[in-house]
A and B are shown apart, each in its own frame.
Chain A
Amino acid sequence: MLKGNSVVSISDIGKDEMFELFKLADSYSRSVEQGQKIDSLHGSIMATFFYEPSTRTRLSFESAMHRLGGSVISVSEAKSSSVAKGETLADTVRMAASYSDIIVIRHPMDGAAKLARKFSSKPIINAGDGSGQHPTQTLLDLYTIRKELSGIDGKEITMLGDLRYGRTVHSLLLALSEFDVRINLVSPPLLRVPQHILDQVSSRIRIRVTENLNDVISESDVLYVTRIQKERFTDETEYNSVIGSYIVNSEIASTMKKNSIIMHPLPRVNEISPEVDADPRAAYFRQAANGIPVRMALLSMILGGK
């Protein structure tokens, strides 16, 4: 039940409710395209706390709330907030709950959103906590797959790149384990999905782990690309040895199915060549745009707007 509740993990949203949310997002998407005014959250206030850099997530949350007729109050970065004076997150959240109706938080530490939920009398939405979860990104990822490929069940999904630290990968993997899908995990050994995440999903879905994209690319319906985080490598030679093998260019795209899609949570650095952008299968900008209707639907279902 989403109404009045927090979303700190993708498991906070049941499958039925997720599809209800997607239908509402479809409807908001049409309304926005047609320029219809929606005022269902008029009078509601959303507080945003982004203690880590964010462009898309923050803008799309704020845009979503404005499009629903609500208002937004925000703290842009930790150094301009009372955290810089030594205030705990628990105290910050307790205070924010009395100033707003819903709190969106991004924090560098794992589990921060769960802690925030503990101390808040208002719903918390996790906009990314450390290398933990990023459930609203997962919602828009699933929404994109459903919209682009007319469904999620039966699909083969390949995740590529930094699968160790990428929180979007962890959330998406947990969510996909509720569907009838095949998963390929392609990464250098150093950047494999952590065992504790695999333990939670491996009994429910078929997973293939490989270092070689060519093993799986031609069978994939979705190629989900992530940025390889150079800063995590201690040895630059090692980084250079893997980076080249994971650049998606036109040549790689040409080996993909005709009806497949390429996704990326963005920002990208060089893992997808710009030449791929014009390919109709390049869905990453459409994916980013889906953030608005999906977050509108989520805010609306939590706050009970129509």
Chain B
Amino acid sequence: MDTTLKISKIKDGTVIDHVPGGMAFKVLSILRVDDLHENSVSIGIRVPSGKMGQKDVIKVENRYLERVEVDKISFVAPEATISIVKNYNITEKYRVELPEKVIGFIRCINPNCISNAREPVSSEFKLVSRAPISIRCEYCERSMSEREILQNL
């Protein structure tokens, strides 16, 4: 089914497609889309998808994603595709990719980890598995599962 029938095209901005059904809210939270957000945002939740059964789609007008936002989205929606739209045309399209090194945006689940102390360092993790997703803290060596990562994004 053509999802554009349900969600209108955007002139300029970003389309985040192939987000697992129900995860759109998590993506919106990563993009800090809240009641103060000024750009138009279209959201399709659990729309039919040939590949995924059902999926979420998010279209944000006049907004292009930063690298850290794409990296964060890769943990929420590892299959997501990002399309950059300029004047109604897709000028660039790519699939998100889990980063080998995760620096700064996930908090270590171990409360006794030095990266959670008042020290001048960012959290730092290494990707140890893509399916299921697992990362390991470079400081305390504690592994974090997908569920733990989502809780600490």
Contact = CB atoms under 8 A, between A and B. Distances in A.
Contact of B139 (A88, A114, A131, A199): A114
B52 interface: no
B141 interface: yes
B62 interface: no
Contacts of A129: 114
A88 B140 contact: no
Interface stretch (A21-29, A104-112, A283-291): A104-112
Contacts, number: 54
Contact of B119 (A88, A110, A132, A195): A88
A108 B116 CA distance: 13
A132 B136 CA distance: 13
A109 B114 CA distance: 6
Nearest to B142: A196
Contact of B143 (A90, A109, A110, A199): A199
Contact of A132 (B115, B121, B138, B140): B140
A9 B141 CA distance: 10
A118 B140 CA distance: 14
Interface string A74-89: 0000000000000011
A130 interface: yes
A19 to B, nearest CB: 25
Contact of A110 (B120, B121, B136, B139): B139
Nearest to A91: B120
**B interface residue count range (under 10 / 10 to 19 / 20 to 34 / 35 or more):** 10 to 19
A110 B112 contact: yes
Interface of B: 110, 112-115, 117-121, 136-143
Interface residues of A, number: 20
Contact of B137 (A88, A108, A111): A111
Given A89-B114, A115-B121, A196 B136 contact: yes
Given A90-B121, A118-B121, A196-B143, A109 B113 contact: yes
A88 B142 contact: no
B72 to A, nearest CB: 23
A171 B117 CA distance: 23
A18 to B, nearest CB: 20
Nearest to A108: B112
Given A89-B114, A131-B112, A111 B120 contact: no
Nearest to B143: A196
Contacts of A88: 118-120
Nearest to A132: B140
A89 B114 CA distance: 10
